[in-house]
Amino acid sequence: MDHFELKNGELCAEQVPLAEIAREVGTPVYVYSRATLSRHARVFREALSALPKVHIAFAVKSNPNLAVLRLLAKEGYGADVVSEGEMNRALAAGIAPKDVVFSGVGKTRAELIAAVRAGIGQFNLESEEEGVELAGIAAALGKTAACALRVNPDVDARTHAKISTGKAENKFGVSHDRASGIYARLSALPGLDMRGLAVHIGSQIGDLEPSRQAFLKMGALMNALRVQGFKVTHMDLGGGLGVPYKAGEQLPTPADYGAMVTEVALGWGVTLMFEPGRVITGNSGVLVTEVVRVKRGAGHPWVVVDAAMNDLARPAMYDAWHDFVAVKPSGETMIANIVGPICESSDTFALAREIDAVRVGDLAVFRTAGAYGATMANTYNSRALVPEVMVDGDKWAVVASRIEPATILAAEQVPEWLD
Ligand code: LLP
């Protein structure tokens, strides 16, 4: 459920007509609904309420906007970060260092040092080598780094191959059969407090069974470690729950997910940690765009919009579907190809799709663009970096300004020796 609805024939974010934002900020522009974000944060927490000890660390990568992070901090969320940049954003938003989990397969030495100094709550180690390096850093700084070992359970999440992370051939974590040996060796190192395990099998998961299988494997590993005398007080079950991208699409809900986790993990006697991203932010945002041209084609007409693959990369990267609706629908429909202005054919949002009829100058939105939208934007074709707006009831504010091509140009220099 979200708060982007037609009011008097016009698509609004909460009480604010999207046309008003487009007029003042220009297009393309991302618009987030505060009420939707808060609602999703609460629904996800509520779904886990049968579990005694829960820590929810929002996956910053899905939407790192400072205002979004501040809102989630106020909802009591911690943060799951994968770079020093994300860590600094989470801290700047007011999330306590102890509530931050540092994930990621290639944390650099400089990042590990910065995170130990900042007092980050947990490092999710992706390898024995990383653990050894972190132990040395922490000991040298006179600190102890709390750690979980990320395990690759070799389970197929049945999602798009490019966002699947839990198969043996994926780069993430340590293999299930080597995990207890690594856990034992890392537990012996000064500087580390090995306190748990972590798993994350993929994103946009639409079937809970693979997650259940992975969690059962993690539970068995936890028991085996305890039998060997090791401490396991924390279990990080990652993120990955999918969201509907098409109107009417049925996916497991947070409540379904919570019931599954409760069934598997209620008796584990650990703090259960979660790293949701998309399920919190996905339906909380739309990308507003204007139709630049409607061009006759060999087949269906080409609707050329002013948003492109640099603003919303998901269709080009993962063949992802985003519903496209007019801001002032006339009630008529058309079948069209929707494309951006960028000079390659991958800049395609939809082919042969039935959409609201649109004409040049009309506004439209790509829905469910709050996760992995603005954060994956770039400036390809020397386009601006897309701005972001947050709405709250009848008020709204720009929460990330458009970065104009001239600003980016100003950061480039021609060396003297070229002239
Ligand atoms: N935890 C870890 C360790 C992750 O790698 C991810 C996502 C998450 C949590 C959050 O997953 P979520 O709850 O958002 O599914 N750019 C892609 C998605 C990449 C996901 C990467 N990892 C897309 O646009 O679909």
CATH number for position 272: 3.20.20.10
Asked if the peptide bond before residue 28 counts as cis, ω within 30 degrees of 0, the response is yes
Given a cut of 90, is residue 386 above it in pLDDT?
yes
Describe the crossing of helices 128-140 and 179-187 by its angle, rounded to 10 degrees: 10
Judge if 252 and 317 occupy the same domain: no
The reply to whether ligand 1 has any atom less than 6 angstroms from the CB of 211 is no
Looking at ligand 1, which residue's alpha carbon is closest to its atom 23? 372
Residue 133 and residue 149: Cα distance in Å, rounded? 14
**What's the whole-number mean pLDDT along residues 148-160?**
92
Residue 304 and residue 338: Cα distance in Å, rounded? 6
Roughly how many angstroms between the first and final C-alpha of the chain, as a whole number?
58
Task: Say which CATH number the domain at 352 has.
Answer: 2.40.37.10
Residue 13 and residue 284: Cα distance in Å, rounded? 10
The per-residue b/e assignment along 152-173, b for 16 or more CB within 10 angstroms, e otherwise, is bbbbebebeeebbbbbeebebb
Judge if 28 and 130 occupy the same domain: no
**What's the whole-number mean pLDDT along residues 354-360?**
98
pLDDT band at 405 (very low <50, low <70, confident <90, very high): very high
Given a cut of 90, is residue 367 above it in pLDDT?
yes
Judge if 9 and 48 occupy the same domain: no
Given a cut of 90, is residue 228 above it in pLDDT?
yes
**97 falls within a domain:** yes
Looking up tokens 């087949």, which residue turns up?
299
Query: Strand ranges (DSSP E) for 206-356?
Result: 234-236, 271-274, 285-295, 302-305, 324-326, 333-339, 348-356
From 298, 343, 409, 410, active-site residue: 343
Judge if 239 and 319 occupy the same domain: no
Per the annotation, the verdict on 343 as an active-site residue is: yes
Portion of the chain with pLDDT greater than 90, in percent? 95
DSSP code at position 387: P
Please report the atom of ligand 1 found closest to the CA of residue 204: 15
For the chain, the domain total comes to 2
Given a cut of 90, is residue 159 above it in pLDDT?
no
Half-sphere exposure for 11 (CA within 13 Å, toward CB):
26
Exposed/middle/buried for residue 296 (C-beta within 10 Å: 0-12, 13-18, 19+)? exposed
Residue 404 and residue 253: Cα distance in Å, rounded? 39
Looking at ligand 1, which residue's alpha carbon is closest to its atom 9? 239
Residue 122 and residue 281: Cα distance in Å, rounded? 23
Is the pTM here over 0.95, yes or no?
A: yes
Q: Regarding predicted confidence, which is higher, 158 or 365?
A: 365
What pLDDT, in 10s, does the model give residues 101-125? 999 999 999 999 999 999 999 999 9
Last residue of a domain, one of 211, 246, 279: 279
Where does 160-319 have alpha helices with state H?
Answer: 179-187, 208-227, 254-265, 278-281, 314-318
Tell me the CA–centroid distance for residue 118 and ligand 1, in Å.
24
**417 falls within a domain:** no
The reply to whether ligand 1 has any atom less than 6 angstroms from the CB of 112 is no
**213 falls within a domain:** yes
Last residue of a domain, one of 228, 251, 279: 279
Which one of 56, 103, 124, 203 would you pick to mutate in the ligand 1 pocket, going by the greatest count of ligand atoms within 8 A of its CB? 203
Residue 261 and residue 290: Cα distance in Å, rounded? 43
The reply to whether ligand 1 has any atom less than 6 angstroms from the CB of 152 is no
Judge if 165 and 78 occupy the same domain: yes
pLDDT band at 1 (very low <50, low <70, confident <90, very high): confident
Q: Supply the pLDDT for residue 170.
A: 86
- Point out which residues pair with 164 in neighbouring strands: 202
**416 falls within a domain:** no
Asked if 149 and 195 touch (Cβ cutoff 8 Å), the reply is: no
> What are the structure tokens assigned to 246, written together?
């098409």
- Give the structural domain span for 390: 4-32+282-410
Tell me the CA–centroid distance for residue 238 and ligand 1, in Å.
9
Judge if 135 and 226 occupy the same domain: yes
Residue 366 and residue 288: Cα distance in Å, rounded? 7
The reply to whether ligand 1 has any atom less than 6 angstroms from the CB of 314 is yes
Judge if 247 and 314 occupy the same domain: no
The reply to whether ligand 1 has any atom less than 6 angstroms from the CB of 302 is no
What pLDDT, in 10s, does the model give residues 19-50? 999 999 999 999 999 999 999 999 999 999 99
**165 falls within a domain:** yes
What pLDDT, in 10s, does the model give residues 48-103? 999 999 999 999 999 999 999 999 999 999 999 999 999 999 999 999 999 999 99
Q: Give the contacts of 175 (CB within 8 A, at least 6 positions apart).
A: 151, 152, 154, 168
Last residue of a domain, one of 232, 253, 279: 279
Tell me the CA–centroid distance for residue 62 and ligand 1, in Å.
7
Which one of 44, 62, 171, 274 would you pick to mutate in the ligand 1 pocket, going by the greatest count of ligand atoms within 8 A of its CB? 62
What pLDDT, in 10s, does the model give residues 288-345? 999 999 999 999 999 999 999 999 999 999 999 999 999 999 999 999 999 999 999 9
The reply to whether ligand 1 has any atom less than 6 angstroms from the CB of 238 is yes
**377 falls within a domain:** yes
Q: Supply the pLDDT for residue 163.
A: 82
* Mean pLDDT computed over every residue of the chain: 97
Judge if 164 and 99 occupy the same domain: yes
Residue 402 and residue 389: Cα distance in Å, rounded? 10
Q: Supply the pLDDT for residue 302.
A: 98
Q: Supply the pLDDT for residue 164.
A: 82
Residue 129 three-state SS: helix
The reply to whether ligand 1 has any atom less than 6 angstroms from the CB of 383 is no
Given a cut of 90, is residue 162 above it in pLDDT?
no
**163 falls within a domain:** yes
**212 falls within a domain:** yes
Judge if 181 and 322 occupy the same domain: no
Closest to 325 (Cα-Cα) out of 384, 245, 242, 388: 245
Tell me the CA–centroid distance for residue 202 and ligand 1, in Å.
7
Judge if 28 and 38 occupy the same domain: no
Tell me the CA–centroid distance for residue 308 and ligand 1, in Å.
22
Tell me the CA–centroid distance for residue 24 and ligand 1, in Å.
33
Please report the atom of ligand 1 found closest to the CA of residue 242: 15
pLDDT band at 278 (very low <50, low <70, confident <90, very high): very high
Judge if 209 and 227 occupy the same domain: yes
Q: Give the contacts of 370 (CB within 8 A, at least 6 positions apart).
A: 30, 32, 36, 37, 63, 281, 282, 283, 284, 285, 286
Judge if 148 and 221 occupy the same domain: yes
